[in-house]
Amino acid sequence: MPLPVRAGAAPIVSVSAGALLSLAALTGLAAPPSDFSPAFASLLSSDLKFTSAELVDLSRGKVVKHNLSATAPGEVAAVGAVRISANRQAFVESYRDIARFKQAPDVLQIGRFSSPPALDDLGPLTVGRDDADLRDCKVGDCDVRLPADAIARFQRDVDWSAPDANARAAELYKRLLFEGVRGYVTGEHRMTEYDDDKKPVRPVEDFAGVLKNSPYIGRLVPELPRYLEAFPAAHLQAAEDFLYWSKEKFGIAPFISVTHVTMTRDAAGNDVLTSKDVYSSRYFDASLTVTVASDAMGAPGNFYLVYVNRSRANALKGVFAGLRRSIVERRAKGALDENLKRIKQRLETR
């Protein structure tokens, strides 16, 4: 998630191993590693603005991370990377088991949707008053993000005088969530507007903005941006897709989300994984994560992992936006550090 690159952090202007070594000699810094593939070196230095000093730390097994510049109100982005002494394929296989992969104190519940999605996939999800207070939910004033037609159903379909009203509302919320997932997968419809507040949120438009501000995705896999934006109408050869739901801690109350994962490779053979926010009950209007795994050249059984997230949140606009942004950016960098360290430890000790 974003902020301008640190003051004084001059970007590397060349991506070849020889040029990196020459730059290090001129600046008096320790030589950056020479085991980056050319495509991966370009991604790190040109697109993601890692400095030569950060690349040295990365080669030594340290987690490196920084914020990326924001180009729109309410947008934040951060990037982190780490070197892992394990087989790259082990990472990819562990990612497919997303419920286990994302195990962390802030992840309260999680589950992968079947293909095609089924309502029963949401069976383990619990929806309490802290997750979604639906009793007074109405258009322009609802506790969770939903379109107007879905919000209206909580007053039309739930008898709030009944003893089991909260349970019925929770089941309705899960059904609406499932209907949204099914519509997204089939292309029949998607949630294009959230009407829970006075000012509507249009997540599709926000995602288009996030994607536009992530040009490195198209440089990695030229067909991938169109695929993410037009799914399921667009086609991406050899792509593997799945969706999962989760309930996670963030801010005052937990949020429930649905994420679309696409797993593919770039022309150099590096694994490229994207995670696209399909729905978030709170906080985020749109979010896109890109994870790239690239073998360390000349060092079998070692690979580099880089993770970049760009998100938009309506709460980061307007009065006190600067304060909120600084808090979110600190949390984003802290979460990056923790997640990358956790992945490194799990893979190196399995």
CATH (residue range 17-115+222-349): 3.30.530.20
Report pLDDT for 74: 82
Distances (CA, A) of 69 to 12, 117, 126, 160, 290: 16, 36, 37, 47, 16
Q: What is the DSSP string of 31-76?
A: PPPS-S-HHHHHIIIIIS---HHHHHHHHTT--EEEE----STTEE
CA distance 139 to 154: 10
C-alpha torsion sign, points 228, 233, 237, 243: positive
The pLDDT tens digits along the chain (350 residues) read 332 233 333 333 333 444 444 444 444 444 455 799 888 999 999 999 999 999 999 999 999 999 898 777 788 899 999 999 999 999 999 999 999 999 989 999 999 999 999 999 999 999 999 999 999 999 999 999 999 999 999 999 999 999 999 999 999 999 999 999 999 999 998 889 999 988 899 999 999 999 999 999 999 999 999 999 999 999 999 999 999 999 998 778 899 999 999 999 999 999 999 999 999 998 888 999 999 999 999 999 999 999 999 998 865 444 334 544 455 555 666 678 889 999 999 999 87
Contacts of residue 221, defined as CB under 8 A and 6 or more positions apart, other chains included, come to 236, 264, 265, 266, 272
Domains in the chain: boundaries: 17-115+222-349, 122-186
Report pLDDT for 299: 93
Instruction: Measure the N-to-C terminal CA separation of the chain; round to a whole number of Å.
Output: 30
Q: Which residue has the tokens 């097994």?
A: 61
The candidate with the shortest Cα–Cα distance to 75, out of 200, 211, 248, 253, is 211
Burial label for 159, CB within 10 Å (0-12, 13-18, 19+), is: exposed
The gap from C-alpha 261 to its chain's centroid, in whole angstroms, comes to 9
Q: What letter represents residue 204's amino acid?
A: V
CB burial string 120-147: b at 16+ within 10 A, e below: ebbeebebeeebbebeebebeebbbbbb
Residues 120, 344 contacting (CB under 8 angstroms):
no
Q: Which residue has the tokens 């739901």?
A: 245
Residues 281, 145 contacting (CB under 8 angstroms):
yes
Q: Which residue has the tokens 């030229």?
A: 222
Report pLDDT for 328: 56
Query: Apex CA 126: angle with CA 190 and CA 327, to 5°?
Result: 75
SS3 307: strand
Report pLDDT for 334: 62
The gap from C-alpha 89 to its chain's centroid, in whole angstroms, comes to 21
Q: Which residue has the tokens 């990037």?
A: 79
The candidate with the shortest Cα–Cα distance to 175, out of 122, 134, 116, 248, is 122
Contacts of residue 238, defined as CB under 8 A and 6 or more positions apart, other chains included, come to 264, 265
Pairing of the two strands 303-312 and 75-84:
antiparallel
pTM summary value:
0.86
The candidate with the shortest Cα–Cα distance to 312, out of 280, 339, 337, 335, is 280
